[in-house]
């Protein structure tokens, strides 16, 4: 219903997509959303998108529509929303259980509410066909080969857009095949690792490369299971943070190669809120962070050793260091190897445990069911407050570090219900500052990604929304075109 605002690509501001306008009640409990009258579903439905469809989609999302089952993340909305009603064909009313400031940005999250026609399951089988109201009409899926879409001439944000007539998404699971196909001119775009940038820049004359940072947070977290673990002492957690050279982690993403070829790369350090959130991100090297806390982010192995000694571990300790090599790509894997080396340099006896993402990492370590320390990425969100709620609030089941801090709980509860944007921004910064002081999690460098486009692709560099988590298809592809 919402999407990132095109006017400010470096923030999380939103704009209407299906929504034409909205109103929020004074107590923050009622959101009234007016839908665009010109939004229509794709064939075979082909009718206007109505408020009833939004109500149906919400019921389907939480598993209450006939024949539906809840989405795995249904509680992210169900815990907040009291009811959804259609006031008239184009007006939807969301009533919340409590004032929840980030509600609209949650509606812009592509992981949450998809608006589907209420004929879903009867007029078409959603396992075989996608029917929405966006810029691309689903034409077909060839198993393990490609997805085919054609331009939606009736898109409510058209009629001139999308510019392309067709989009084909090829299924190429092997990274090396993707790069070679791009080099051979068979793909319009590819996301190369930094290590392959030079190859691509040399191999394709006129190639366009965009460097981006995204909404994921690469971080270290600590097992909360053992009350006697050394990292229960904040000095140990700070020492671990100070042991890590974040600039070297940035370098591992192939930054030098990119900059050598004139590509501008963001080299920031993430906090618990990633750098892409601009003024809501507490920059570890910025003016808003206290000098004492900023010190914990600076690479200082000597200082780290001193802190360990003060905490009673002059000779370090043995620790399992867990990460997965099957999910986040080669740059992450290199960064994890570097982190293990940094931890050894301050005297820790590091036992590297590499886990399978699907069967071990996501089902145990990410849930906090592990021993030792772990490194991974946190899922992206559309609102900065969500990172803090999920990582730090004691009642949140996705709090992977099992953090139990009443002060944080109170700060988060206040932040969540603060409607005034500037006041909420200050709360978000304060929470980051406090969590950094305790170093409950150790945020690392911002993730850097590169996307390469063939010379004939137009509009990609200028119009690309920096983050992909709102959905490439609706946010980026409608603005691309190809030179003749």
Partner 1 sequence: MGRYFAYRLLSLIPTVVGVTVVVFVAVRFLPGDVVQQMLGEYGAASRELRERLLREYALDLSLPQQYARWVVNALRGDLGVSILSGRPVVEDLKQRLPVTFQLGVMALLIAWALALPVGILSALYQDSPLDYALRGLAIGLLALPTFWMALLIISYGFIFFGWTPPLRYYSLSEDPIRNLQILSIPAFVLGTHLSAIVMRLLRSTMLEVLRQDYVRTARAKGLPELVVVLRHALPNALIPVVTVIALQVPLLVGGTVIMERIFALPGMGNYLLSAVQQRDYPVVQAITLLSAVTVVASNFAVDLLYGALDPRIRYSER
Contact residues toward partner 1 (CB under 8 A) are: 63, 69-70, 72-75, 126-128, 142-146, 170-174, 176-177, 180-181, 183-184, 186-187, 356, 358-360, 362-363, 366-368, 379, 396-398, 400
Provide, rounded to whole angstroms, the least separation between the CB of residue 195 and partner 1.
13
Provide, rounded to whole angstroms, the least separation between the CB of residue 127 and partner 1.
3
Token pair of 358 as six digits:
């699907």
Q: Which CB atom, from 61 or from 297, has the smaller least distance to partner 1?
A: 61
Q: Which CB atom, from 235 or from 400, has the smaller least distance to partner 1?
A: 400
Distance CA 407, CA 438 (A): 12
Task: Please identify which residue in the block is written with the tokens 């340099």.
Answer: 345
Query: 446 with 469: CB under 8 angstroms?
Result: no
Provide, rounded to whole angstroms, the least separation between the CB of residue 371 and partner 1.
16
Q: Which CB atom, from 172 or from 339, has the smaller least distance to partner 1?
A: 172
Q: Which CB atom, from 23 or from 359, has the smaller least distance to partner 1?
A: 359
Q: Label each residue of the chain as H, E or C.
A: CEEECCCCCCCCCEEECCEEEEEECCCCCEEEEEECCCCECCCCCCCECCHHHHHHHHHHHCCCCCCCCCCCCCHHHHCCEEEEEEEECCEEEEEECCCCCCHHHHHCCCCCCCCCCCCECCCECCCCCCCCCCCEEEEEEECCCEEEEEECCCCCCCCCCCCCCEEEEECCCCHHHHHHHHHCCCCCEECCCHHHHHHHHHHCCCCEEEEEECCCEEEEEECCCCCCCHHHCHHHHHHHHHCCCHHHHHHCCCHHHHHHCCCCCCCCECCCCCHHHHHHCCCCCCCCCCHHHHHCCCCCHHHHHHHHHHCCCCCCCEEEEEEECCCCCHHHHHHHHHHHHHHHHCCCEEEEEEECHHHHHCCCHHHCCCCCEEEEEECCCCCHHHHHHHHHCCCCCCCCCCCCCHHHHHHHHHHHHCCCHHHHHHHHHHHHHHHHHHCCCEECECCEEEEEECCCEECHHHHCCCCCCCCHHHHCHHHCEECC
Q: What is the distance, to the nearest Å, from the Cα of residue 14 to the centroid of all Cα atoms in its chain?
A: 15
Provide, rounded to whole angstroms, the least separation between the CB of residue 100 and partner 1.
17
CA torsion, points 124, 125, 131, 136, in degrees to nearest 10? -120
Provide, rounded to whole angstroms, the least separation between the CB of residue 362 and partner 1.
5
Q: Which CB atom, from 199 or from 426, has the smaller least distance to partner 1?
A: 199
Q: Which CB atom, from 126 or from 234, has the smaller least distance to partner 1?
A: 126
Provide, rounded to whole angstroms, the least separation between the CB of residue 56 and partner 1.
19
Please count the CA atoms within 13 angstroms of the CA of 6 that sit on its side-chain side: 11
According to DSSP, the β-strands at 457-458 and 481-482 are antiparallel
Distance CA 331, CA 448 (A): 9
Provide, rounded to whole angstroms, the least separation between the CB of residue 284 and partner 1.
25
Provide, rounded to whole angstroms, the least separation between the CB of residue 226 and partner 1.
19
Query: What length is written for the chain?
Result: 484
Q: Which CB atom, from 117 or from 230, has the smaller least distance to partner 1?
A: 117
Provide, rounded to whole angstroms, the least separation between the CB of residue 366 and partner 1.
5
List 62's β-bridge partners, or say none. Answer: none
Provide, rounded to whole angstroms, the least separation between the CB of residue 397 and partner 1.
4
Q: Which CB atom, from 122 or from 186, has the smaller least distance to partner 1?
A: 186
Cα dihedral sign, 391-292-295-371: negative
Q: Which CB atom, from 376 or from 384, has the smaller least distance to partner 1?
A: 376
Q: Which CB atom, from 212 or from 469, has the smaller least distance to partner 1?
A: 469
Q: Which CB atom, from 39 or from 62, has the smaller least distance to partner 1?
A: 62
Provide, rounded to whole angstroms, the least separation between the CB of residue 400 and partner 1.
8
Provide, rounded to whole angstroms, the least separation between the CB of residue 367 and partner 1.
5
Provide, rounded to whole angstroms, the least separation between the CB of residue 183 and partner 1.
6
Q: Which CB atom, from 73 or from 417, has the smaller least distance to partner 1?
A: 73
Q: Which CB atom, from 259 or from 356, has the smaller least distance to partner 1?
A: 356
């Amino acid at each position: 219903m919402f999407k990132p605002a095109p006017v400010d690509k470096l923030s999380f501001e939103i704009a209407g997509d299906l929504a034409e306008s909205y109103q929020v009640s004074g107590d923050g409990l009622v959101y009234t959303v007016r839908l665009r009258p010109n939004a229509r579903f794709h064939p075979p439905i082909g009718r206007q998108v109505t408020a009833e469809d939004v109500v149906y989609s919400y019921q389907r999302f939480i598993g209450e529509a006939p024949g539906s089952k809840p989405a795995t993340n249904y509680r992210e909305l169900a815990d907040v929303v009291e009811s959804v009603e259609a006031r008239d064909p184009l007006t939807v009313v969301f009533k919340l259980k409590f004032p929840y400031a980030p509600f609209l940005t949650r509606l812009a999250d592509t992981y949450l509410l998809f608006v589907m026609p209420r004929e879903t399951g009867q007029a078409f089988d959603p396992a075989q066909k996608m029917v929405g109201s966006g810029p691309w009409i689903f034409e077909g899926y060839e198993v393990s080969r490609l997805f085919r879409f054609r331009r939606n001439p009736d898109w409510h944000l058209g009629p001139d857009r999308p510019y392309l007539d067709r989009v084909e998404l090829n299924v190429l699971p092997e990274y090396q095949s993707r790069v070679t196909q791009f080099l051979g001119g068979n793909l319009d775009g590819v996301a190369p690792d930094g290590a392959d940038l030079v190859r691509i820049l040399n191999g394709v004359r006129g190639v366009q490369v965009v460097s981006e940072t995204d909404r994921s947070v690469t971080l270290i977290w600590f097992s909360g299971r053992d009350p006697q673990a050394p990292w229960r002492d904040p000095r140990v957690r700070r020492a671990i943070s100070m042991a890590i050279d974040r600039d070297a982690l940035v370098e591992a993403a192939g930054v030098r190669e990119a900059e050598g070829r004139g590509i501008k790369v963001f080299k920031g350090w993430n906090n618990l809120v990633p750098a892409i959130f601009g003024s809501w991100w507490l920059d570890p090297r910025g003016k808003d962070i206290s000098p004492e806390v900023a010190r914990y982010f600076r690479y200082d192995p000597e200082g780290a050793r001193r802190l360990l000694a003060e905490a009673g571990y002059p000779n370090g300790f043995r620790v399992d260091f867990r990460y997965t090599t099957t999910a986040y790509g080669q740059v992450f894997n290199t960064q994890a190897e570097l982190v293990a080396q940094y931890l050894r340099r301050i005297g820790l006896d590091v036992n590297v445990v590499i886990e399978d993402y699907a069967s071990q990492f996501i089902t145990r370590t990410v849930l906090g069911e592990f021993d030792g320390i772990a490194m991974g990425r946190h899922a992206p969100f559309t609102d900065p407050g969500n990172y803090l709620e999920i990582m730090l609030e004691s009642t949140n089941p996705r709090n992977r570090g099992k953090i139990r801090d009443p002060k944080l709980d109170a700060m988060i509860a206040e932040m969540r219900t603060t409607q005034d944007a500037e006041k909420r921004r200050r709360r978000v910064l304060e929470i980051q500052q406090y969590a950094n002081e305790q170093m409950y999690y150790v945020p690392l460098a911002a993730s850097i990604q590169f996307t390469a486009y063939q010379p004939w692709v137009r509009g990609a560099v200028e119009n690309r929304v920096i983050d992909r988590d709102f959905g490439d298809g609706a946010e980026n592809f409608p603005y691309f075109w190809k030179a003749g």
